[in-house]
Amino acid sequence: MKGTQESPLFVLMDRNLVTQLVDEAIALNSDLFLVKLDMDNLDKIHVEVDGDHGVPLEEIIRISRHIEHNLDREENDFGLEVTTPDVARPITLYRQYKKNMGRTLKVKVEGAEYEGVLTEVGENEIVLEWKAREPKPIGKGKHTVEKRQVIPLGDIIQAKVKIKFN
């Protein structure tokens, strides 16, 4: 019919294929793990990868190339971004707690907030330790006490690594 235009046919990227490609690329380095994979309706792919000992730039490039070289740009025009987690973003995976042993975390739970050094990561909980100044039990003044808090992983609302500048 004259005067009508058919809308273009958009072929959405196959999420399963993208997931498979990401998994293949990450599997080549056992220190790496997937934090997040996002795809929008405009075929913008965002892959967030972390590593037990950090993620070298060469690994980001390798993962990006593996994904890009195995997708057909003739079939789908897509944007691809492979990154590491932003230091300001909350910890979302168990493995990220293990990676951040010895660092200071700020952890929110229902009705409380703790800030301390992550000293233990168990199957179901983490342990934070810190020093605090408290009034002496007897007499005047304050003294430094060692504090320790066991926090069940299921109770954590948000946990972030506290960045310290020396």
Question: Model confidence over 51-62: pLDDT tens digits?
Answer: 999 999 999 999
What is the per-residue pLDDT across 125-149, written as a single tens digit (0 to 9) for each?
999 999 999 888 888 888 899 999 9
* Residue 55, Cβ density class (10 Å: 0-12 exposed, 13-18 middle, ≥19 buried): buried
Tell whether pTM > 0.75. yes
pLDDT on residue 12: 57
- Domains of the chain, earliest start first: 15-83 (3.30.300), 94-161 (2.30.30.100)
Question: 5 falls in which pLDDT band (50, 70, 90)?
Answer: very low
Q: What is the pLDDT of residue 48?
A: 96
Identify the bridge partners of residue 161 per DSSP, sorted by sequence position: 105
Q: Write the DSSP assignment of 84-102 as a string of letters.
A: ---TTSPP-SHHHHHHTTT
Tokens representing residue 45 in the block: 């792919």
Q: What is the mean pLDDT of the chain?
A: 89
Statement: residue 87 has pLDDT above 90 = no
Higher pLDDT, 12 or 118: 118
Residue 68 has pLDDT above 60, yes or no: yes
pLDDT given for residue 41 in this prediction: 78
User: What gap in Å lies between CA 129 and CA 148, rounded to an integer?
Assistant: 4
